[in-house]
Amino acid sequence: MAPAASLSPVFLQFWAPPFTWRVVLAGAVRVALIVGIAFVVLKVVERAVEQWTARVEDLSPSDPKRQRAVTLSGLVKSITGYAVWAVAGIMVLSEVGLDIGALLATAGIAGLAVGFGAQTLVKDVIGGIFLLFDDVIRVGDLVTISGHTGTVESIGVRLIKLRKFDGELVMIPAGEVRTFGNKSIDWARVVVPVGLSYDQDIDAILPIMERVAQGWVEDHSDIVLDESPQVQGLMDFGDSSVTARIAVKVKPGEQYAGERELRQRLKRTFDQQGVSIPFPQRTVHRTPEGDGPPRTPDPLPDDADASADSLDEGAD
């Protein structure tokens, strides 16, 4: 007959003969070893991720390599933690004598049921993974998603955290990201529309705008990607003004500050050159008291009344 130590799980052998305490001690050592190895693996992965991110710390915040490292570092840590502790937990349960095969089968059935009930969660996770590996959105990018415009603060497997200009933090499930705009890829454009009065000489004002735009480009050569600013002609005829436009290609993220400074320079130059900024105007036509249309319609003539009476009699 086989000894009791070979038939009973470790956690039930406390009532066995004294020599089985060696089996219990060996099992405890193996459990501690499994937990220790799990901690070591996590520390190694964490150290490797820190070294990876340290290589790109000196790069610009808008550099794609740094953004990709920041984005994927947190994801690698999370996935590694879930995987390592899941494997360690299964090994520990095996050491204490539980039937792992039955446990895994039960977990598989439960996972299938949860999968059917959590389809939205699964969709969000899959969408987040594809977003990360497609490399179309990164931490620090200025994006517009579902009508919300802001800076991406975090990209997880399930959620994207978007910080708007007013400080609001918007949580967007990754599975809901279908169509979005990214203003931080390759290049951006400074676009400044300028309203000009109908009464002024447009041919004299456009060269002034071109001179101001060229001066701004020369002072910001570090962010400008096209040294020739475009001073486009009349783009629109408005109610009170005609619209010209200045466009300059710049590095991503620099367009808004560039637009503000360029408007300020235009205002100063217009004041010096006597160019007026148009304002809304309306022309009101006032009709004299007696010249307006009659307030009440004229009465019907007599013949019309007679014909109306004859029609009524015929109807009777």
Domains of the chain: 4-117 (1.10.287.1260), 134-182 (2.30.30.60), 188-273 (3.30.70.100)
Helices marked H in 174-243: 202-219
Indicate the pTM of the whole model: 0.56
Q: Is the pLDDT of residue 173 over 60?
A: yes
Q: Is the pLDDT of residue 225 over 60?
A: yes
3-state secondary structure 96-152: CCCCHHHHHHHHHHHHHHHHHHCHHHHHHHHHHHHHHHHCCCCCCCEEEECCEEEEE
Element counts in the chain: helices (H) and strands (E): 8, 8
Which of 12-16, 18-22, 91-95 has the weakest average pLDDT? 12-16
Q: Is the pLDDT of residue 128 over 50?
A: yes
Determine the pLDDT at residue 15.
46
pLDDT band for position 234 (cuts 50, 70, 90): confident
More confident residue, 51 or 60: 51
17-51 pLDDT per residue, tens = 444 667 677 778 888 888 899 899 999 988 988 88
CB atoms within 10 A of CB 134: 8
CB atoms within 10 A of CB 243: 15
CA–CA separation, 205 and 213 (whole Å): 13
Instruction: State the average pLDDT over residues 173-192.
Output: 87
What's the CA dihedral at 143, 148, 151, 152 to 10 degrees?
-80
Mean of per-residue pLDDT scores for the chain: 79
Beta bridge pairs of residue 243: 195, 236
97-120 pLDDT per residue, tens = 777 777 777 777 777 777 676 677
CA–CA separation, 3 and 9 (whole Å): 12
Contacts of 188 (CB under 8 A, 6+ apart): 249, 250, 251, 252, 253, 254, 255
